Amino acid sequence: MNDTSIKSYDYNLPKEQIAETPLLQRHNSKLLHLNLKNDTTNESQFCNLLEILNPNDLLILNDTRVIPARINMTKDTGGKIELLFHRKLSDKKCEAIFSSSRAPKIGSTLSINNNVIFEVIKRMDNLLTLESQSTDNLFDIYEKYGEVPLPKYIKRPISNSDKKKYQTVYAKFKGSVAAPTAGLHFTKDMIDKLIEKGVNVEYITLHISYNTFKPITCSNYLKHDIGSEYIDVNEKIFSLIDKTKLSGNRIIAVGTTVTRAIEFCYNNNIKKTYEGSADLYIYPGYKFIAINCMITNFHLPKSSLLLLVCAFAGKDKILKAYNFAVNQGYRFYSYGDSMFLENN
């Protein structure tokens, strides 16, 4: 029986191993390769993925684009408030997580430089529903006034390079408040060479919201509300997955977001193009249907992302690998090093 206490998914990480800055060359990160079938662990570099992947393997990436999702605004009382975009509801309405000493009242307005931008129309805990009072569309508001939403554990000031580095090279569709970090290691040249080798490279979209990294605050992780996020998966992906399985090749999800999107579709017997919400919560005990390999970064202790990789590879193997990575000086979290989990 699985231990459902979130405390058991903890590990010790020295602060100096939290990657504060990206590498100069994104594909030079370390790659810890866990072969779960053979129970072997190999150290490599991410650029060597070109040798690890085979012709007719299927590599699936998330082509969401991070928006400048964090905005500092002024309440009509004069107080300051920080907003983190959560998700778009319509052309004029969105949800945002707020940080302020006092919650804004329903019907109050939020401004920048005395220009009213939003009206607060609903509040639930630290989540606001906002209606734009601007002539700009929602994403243009964030592009104009927002800043790169680096995770709070990165303590340094945001730099100009973050606008490029905290974005995958294949980012396309605006909507995320965090980068799909497993994809940050790829260069355009790497993707081109993988395609030349015969690897099938395909894309899905999952717009990462606050739900992806929302802390688990309950002691029993089964009681955590994972929420839902927008996904767009083309039916071509499903036929390629089925074909790849039949040929005995690998289906590699680049990141937990791709894993959740694909597994959500297979759990719900979706085989046609799907655009809508996905709310699959993956934790130990989950049986994977489609994905048999995963590229992922090293995740925060006691997080839903750590639960997902433990579900895929086994709690003991993951925590053992994490402790190994700590001892070997790997860099952790969004700008950190990577893992290749192989179960095929």
Quick: pLDDT tens for 41-90.
Answer: 999 999 999 999 999 999 999 999 999 999 999 999 999 999 999 999 99
Q: What is the pLDDT of residue 2?
A: 63
Distance of CA 293 to the CA centre of its chain: 17
Q: Read off the pLDDT of residues 261-301 as tens digits, 9 standing for 90 and up.
A: 999 999 999 999 999 999 999 999 999 999 999 999 999 99
**Residue of 229, 128, 112 lying closest to 178 (CA atoms):** 229
Q: Are residues 44 and 89 in the same domain?
A: no
Q: Is 250 helix (H, G, I), strand (E, B) or coil?
A: coil
Which of the four pLDDT bands, split at 50, 70 and 90, describes residue 344? confident
Whole-number pLDDT of residue 3: 85
Same domain, 59 and 77: no
d(CA 36, CA 314): 9
Q: Give 34's Cβ-side CA count (13 Å radius).
A: 25
Average pLDDT over residues 112-122: 93
Q: In this structure, what CATH number is given to the domain that contains residue 243?
A: 3.40.1780.10
As a whole number, the mean pLDDT across the chain is 96
The string of pLDDT tens digits covering residues 84-115 is 999 999 999 999 999 998 999 999 999 998 89
Supply the Cα-derived Rg of the chain in whole angstroms: 20
Same domain, 247 and 291: yes
**293, 15 in Cβ contact below 8 A?**
no
Residue 152 lies in a domain: no
DSSP summary character for residue 103: P
pLDDT exceeds 70 at position 203: yes
The rounded distance, in Å, linking the Cα atoms of 79 and 252 is 47
pLDDT score for 113? 87
Whether residue 302 is found in the same domain as residue 176: yes
The residue-averaged pLDDT of 15-25 equals 97
Question: Mean pLDDT, to the nearest integer, of 215-242?
Answer: 97
Same domain, 172 and 279: yes
Spell out the alpha helix ranges (H) of the chain: 49-52, 138-145, 162-165, 188-197, 210-213, 235-247, 256-267, 304-313, 315-327
Segment 120-136 mean pLDDT: 95
Task: Specify the range with the lowest mean pLDDT, choosing from 2-6, 82-86, 156-160, 191-195.
Answer: 2-6
* 158 domain residue, yes or no: no
Does residue 316 sit in helix, strand or coil?
helix
Tokens of 146: 């927002």
pTM, full prediction: 0.95
Residue 115, domain CATH: 2.40.10.240
With 50 as the cut, is the pLDDT of residue 1 above it? no
Q: Which range marks the domain in which residue 116 is found?
A: 70-145
